[in-house]
């Protein structure tokens, strides 16, 4: 799969007082992700073409994808497809890329969410409310040992837009 | 955090953020379209916004694209605003928005 076919539609970056190795571990391990990613666990098969999986706290498959760039502790790119019926057929695949860069004593983590077609702001609003909370919580976890407890309501604007497209949401 | 407040304390820079808010992921050329600012001034403001981490850039093919990065503002919110009952603040800004809309 050619990564350039995905245009980044949402890009966030955050500075974290940590090391690239720790940031990499936080992004790729279940015990870290459970703490900052709304209780979801991340599993990454550590190779190109490997499986990328996110499970909800009750163990259900939430997101599945494939590892498309694997360069620890600098770059990870995965397809990030939410497991809702017809979502991938109607919206196409989602690519999430993490770039980890040492800047002085800190690390800059840049997350980009790319798509192979234009999507409305309504559809993108879900990620746009979730990612800043996830990244801020990851930063707190690495810097203080404690995640931020961010209580977000359901991403209603996105859910309504998906429903209007005939995509069934839980 | 000083950098964030300094970067926001300028109307031209806020208008660049508004343009990215309206359409995220623009090249320098796109950002300069229909602007009263020179290209040089836009470049200078973008550097300040990038240093404050309010704008993030990504290379996509040959282009350098600019994205609004809300994480510093999110952190300000977490640090000073969340404690003061965000729900009520959101309700107040919604009320303000609705009232002002009616005046238009």
Q: Which residue of A has its CA nearest to B59?
A: A8
pLDDT score, position B103: 55
> Do the beta carbons of residue A98 and residue A119 sit within 8 Å?
no
Q: How many residues does chain A have?
A: 170
pLDDT score, position B84: 65
Question: pLDDT grade, residue B102 (50/70/90)?
Answer: low
pLDDT score, position B17: 96
Q: Which of B25, B53, B58 sits opposite A15 (nearest CB)?
A: B53
Strand B55-60 to B63-68 pairing: antiparallel
Strand A106-115 to A7-16 pairing: antiparallel
Q: A146, exposed or middle or buried, with CB in 10 Å at 0-12, 13-18, 19+?
A: exposed
Average pLDDT, chain A: 94
* E runs forming strands in chain A: 7-16, 41-44, 51-55, 61-71, 75-79, 81-82, 94-103, 106-115
pLDDT score, position B43: 97
Q: What is the mean pLDDT of residues A114-119?
A: 95
Which chain B residues contact residue A9 at CB under 8 A? 24-25
Question: pLDDT grade, residue A170 (50/70/90)?
Answer: confident
Domain ranges (residues) in chain A: 7-164
Q: How far is B60 from chain A (nearest CA, A)?
A: 7
Summarised one tens digit per residue, pLDDT across range A52-64 is 999 999 999 999 9
The residues, any chain, with a CB within 8 Å of residue B49's CB and separated by 6 or more, are: B7, B13, B16, B17, B55
pLDDT score, position A152: 81
Helix (H) or strand (E) holding A25: helix A20-28
Residues 34-93 (B) with a CB less than 8 A from some CB of A: 53, 56, 58, 60-61, 65, 67, 69-71, 74-75, 78
Summarised one tens digit per residue, pLDDT across range A132-159 is 889 999 999 999 999 987 778 889 999 9
Classify the complex by whether its ipTM is higher than 0.85, answering yes or no.
Answer: no
Q: What is the mean pLDDT of residues B89-101?
A: 74
Question: Across the interface, do A11 and B70 touch by the CB < 8 Å criterion?
Answer: no
Q: What is the mean pLDDT of residues A32-42?
A: 95
pLDDT score, position B78: 76
Summarised one tens digit per residue, pLDDT across range A75-92 is 999 999 999 989 999 999
The helix/strand count (H/E) of chain A reads as 5, 8
Q: Does B27 touch chain A (CB under 8 A)?
A: no
Which chain A residues contact residue B24 at CB under 8 A? 9-11
- Specify the CATH class of A7-164 in words: alpha beta
Question: pLDDT grade, residue B29 (50/70/90)?
Answer: very high
Distance between CA atoms of residues A69 and A114, nearest Å: 14
DSSP conformation letters of B54-101 = SEEEEEETTEEEEEE--HHHHHHIIIIIGGGTHHHHHHHHHHHHHHHH
Whole-angstrom CA distances from B10 to A111, B34, B76 are 27, 19, 18
Buried b (16+ CB within 10 A) or exposed e, A75-98: ebbbbbbbebeebbeebebbbbbb
Annotation: CATH topology of B1-69: Arc Repressor Mutant, subunit A (1.10.10)
Q: Which of A4, A7, A132 sits opposite B71 (nearest CB)?
A: A132
Which chain A residues contact residue B61 at CB under 8 A? 4
Summarised one tens digit per residue, pLDDT across range B32-79 is 998 989 999 999 999 999 999 999 999 998 999 999 998 888 888 777
Q: CB pairs below 8 Å between A and B: how many?
A: 47
DSSP character at residue A78: E
Q: CA Rg, chain A, in Å?
A: 15
Written as six digits, the tokens of B83 are 């404690």
Question: Across the interface, do B58 and A110 touch by the CB < 8 Å criterion?
Answer: yes
pLDDT score, position A150: 76
Of A69 and B92, the structure prediction assigns the larger pLDDT to: A69
Question: Across the interface, do B74 and A136 touch by the CB < 8 Å criterion?
Answer: yes
Residue B94 has pLDDT above 90, yes or no: no
> Do the beta carbons of residue B71 and residue B55 sit within 8 Å?
no
Distance between CA atoms of residues B37 and A134, nearest Å: 36
Domain ranges (residues) in chain B: 1-69, 71-104
């Amino acid at each position: 799969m050619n990564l350039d076919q995905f245009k980044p539609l949402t890009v966030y970056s955050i500075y974290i007082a940590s090391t690239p190795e720790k940031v990499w571990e936080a992004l790729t391990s279940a015990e870290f992700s459970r703490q900052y990613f709304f209780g979801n666990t991340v599993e990454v098969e550590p190779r190109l073409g490997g499986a990328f999986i996110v499970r909800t706290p009750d163990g259900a498959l939430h997101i599945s994808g494939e590892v498309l760039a694997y360069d620890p502790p600098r770059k990870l790119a995965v397809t990030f497809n939410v497991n809702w019926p017809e979502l991938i057929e109607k919206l196409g695949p989602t690519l999430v890329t993490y770039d980890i860069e040492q800047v002085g004593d800190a690390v800059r983590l840049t997350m980009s969410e790319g798509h192979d077609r234009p999507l409305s702001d309504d559809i993108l609003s879900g990620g746009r409310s979730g990612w800043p909370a996830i990244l801020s919580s990851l930063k707190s976890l690495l810097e203080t040992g404690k995640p931020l407890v961010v209580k977000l309501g359901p991403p209603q604007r996105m859910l309504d837009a998906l429903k209007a497209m005939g995509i069934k949401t839980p | 955090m000083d950098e964030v407040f300094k970067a926001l304390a300028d109307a031209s820079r806020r208008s660049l953020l508004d343009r990215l808010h309206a359409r995220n992921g623009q090249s320098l050329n796109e950002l300069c379209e229909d602007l009263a600012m020179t290209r040089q001034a836009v470049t200078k403001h973008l550097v300040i916004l990038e240093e404050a981490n309010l704008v993030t850039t990504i290379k996509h093919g040959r282009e350098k694209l600019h994205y609004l990065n809300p994480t510093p503002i999110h952190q300000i919110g977490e640090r000073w605003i969340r404690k003061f009952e965000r729900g009520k603040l959101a309700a107040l800004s919604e009320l303000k928005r609705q009232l002002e809309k009616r005046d238009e």
